[in-house]
Amino acid sequence: MKLIEQHLDFTQEAGAAEPIILYLNHNVILLFHAENAQGDPGTGIFRFSNVLELKIGPPNDEAIIGHRYYPLGLRAYAYYMLEDSDRLKEIKAANRVHPYHDEARYRDYMHHILTCKDEVIECIARKVEYDFEASSQNKVFNRITAEYPDKPVNFAD
């Protein structure tokens, strides 16, 4: 396994990323408080496509040393991709009992890891896009959820 830190044009707010996660038909949209390279506040946006697995939980930033990938270089407040993921291998192995199992189906999946103040977010997906928007997290959330009118959700700003 090889853990590779991904350097973005924006960073999460160390004290309060407060991630919001939307799961829509095997796609995940992740929003969090962020700031751009000039220090301007806004929202970090990750869009994961064809999600195979999403995991959210401990450890927090103060206990990151206890994470199974810490020995590979995992640190708090960063975004990584894990090559040759042990978890992806486990998923493939578990699915081999399926009569239509096809190993090639997993070829394009990558294991993404975002370490935050209060949790670690891991997502195994085929594709990821990320962006920074100079708007509040609530405004970005409302704009994105408006794209899905059959799933009414709204946050007050």
DSSP string for 104-153: GGGTT-EEEEEE-SS-EEEEEEEEEEEEEESS-HHHHHHHHHTT-TTS--
Q: How many domains in the chain? A: 1
64 Cβ neighbours under 8 A, 6+ residues apart:
70, 74, 75, 76, 115, 120
The range of the structural domain enclosing residue 58 comes to 2-145
Confidence of residue 153 (pLDDT cuts 50, 70, 90): low
In a domain, 34, yes or no: yes
Q: Above pLDDT 90, what percent of the chain?
A: 76
Inside any domain, residue 136? yes
In a domain, 85, yes or no: yes
Question: What's the pLDDT score for residue 156?
Answer: 46
Site of tokens 């042990």: 86
Q: In this structure, is residue 154 part of a structural domain?
A: no
Q: Provide mean pLDDT across the span 83-99.
A: 93
The pLDDT of residue 157 is above 70: no
